[in-house]
Amino acid sequence: MTSPAPTVLVFLDPAFENGRIADSSQPQLMATDLGATRGDGVFESLLAVEGRARKVQAHLNRLGTSAEALDLVIPAQDAWRRAIDTAIAEFRSTHPAPTPEEDEVVVKLLVTRGVEGAAGSTCWVQASPSPAGSRRQRETGIDVVLLDRGFDTDAGERAPWLLLGAKTLSYAVNMAALRYAHKQGADDAIFTSTDGRVLEGPTSTVLLAHLETADDGTGTGSKTVRRLITPQLDSGILPGTSQGALFAAAKAAGWELGYGPLVPQDLFDADAVWLISSIRLIAPVNHINGQEIGTVAVRKQLTAELNELFAGIE
């Protein structure tokens, strides 16, 4: 029997200014906590590299937005920041990375509605190792399948109680989609809507790129225009913190940006497609439904360019 991955837990406890470190080998959550019994809560996942957490403000902002959608009251952002720092420091102290390249810590911020019948939410930060497959998928790419999510693109606006734009603990459907994709021989999935639009991955945001030749303005030559596109944010998808940060960096580097609407054929016609998330980072898509996307050379070139931009994001 394999041992569980090392984990550090830090609970946001008013009696502990920097968070209360708890023994992860012992029970910590009540069996009647609504996060366990109903998946009633929200979370965020971020990556710490060499002890420095990335995009903390963006994740805290989205945590607050998700909590507001669920009418959850959560601690102030400063309390979360202190608990994050405590969790990262404790994990790196007790589980030092073998090499600087492997010094990655997955940090999760979790909120549940708390124990049924009691007042107050349960809030904690969890630090654990980066998944073994994340680095491999960044380097070698992934194969994906398209899956019908079962909603049209207006569902989020028409039925806000579906919480389509919130990052909730109710991830059973997302995990089922990944298992289904694996059974089809793929690594991941991209959801589509019932009205034929491209949405997002179960745990990621979709990006695609087009290379276009345009006049360089001199009248005698041409230039290559790089255009980066993601699905519309108002189509019932979770706003990606990594996508937002990368778009800002790409714009500063001269890339053109675009937001859908996208249909599946747009993915097949792209020069490159990626799934991007805070933990796996930028994973190039090699095949969708068995069809190769672009060419190996172009995928590698554009992925290297985006990785260089993403590396500079705090």
Position 217 pLDDT exceeds 90: no
Q: Among residues of the chain, what percentage have pLDDT more than 90?
A: 80
Mean pLDDT of all residues in 286-306: 95
* Higher local confidence (pLDDT), 220 or 231: 231
Position 2 pLDDT exceeds 60: no
pLDDT of residue 99: 87
Position 1 pLDDT exceeds 60: no
Asked if 144 and 202 count as a contact pair (C-beta separation under 8 A), the reply is: no
Q: How many CB atoms lie within 10 A of CB 240?
A: 25
CATH of 136-311, one of 3.20.10.10, 3.40.50.1820, 3.10.310.30, 2.40.50.100: 3.20.10.10
Q: Domain spanning 8-130 has what CATH number?
A: 3.30.470.10
pLDDT of residue 245: 94
Confidence tier at 313 by pLDDT (50, 70, 90): confident
- Domain segments of the chain as ranges: 8-130, 136-311
pLDDT tens for 35-67 read 999 999 999 999 999 999 999 999 999 999 999
Mean pLDDT of all residues in 198-204: 96
Q: Which amino acid is at 206?
A: V
The chain-wide mean pLDDT, for the chain, equals 92
The pTM (predicted TM-score) of the whole model is 0.91
pLDDT of residue 4: 66
pLDDT tens for 84-97 read 999 999 999 999 98
Q: Among residues of the chain, what percentage have pLDDT more than 70?
A: 96
Domains 8-130 and 136-311 share a fold: no
Position 102 pLDDT exceeds 90: no
Q: Which amino acid is at 55?
A: K
* Higher local confidence (pLDDT), 161 or 218: 161
pLDDT tens for 115-158 read 988 888 999 999 999 888 888 898 999 999 999 999 999 998 89
- Check the CA dihedral 70-76-78-80 and report its sign: negative
Confidence tier at 24 by pLDDT (50, 70, 90): very high
pLDDT tens for 223-279 read 788 999 999 888 889 989 999 999 999 999 999 999 989 999 999 999 999 999 999
pLDDT of residue 215: 66
Residue (of 86, 30, 80) closest to 56 by Cα position: 80
Both tokens assigned to 307: 């990785």
C-alpha 60/C-alpha 54 separation (Å) is 11
Mean pLDDT of all residues in 178-202: 96
C-alpha 14/C-alpha 183 separation (Å) is 46
pLDDT of residue 228: 96
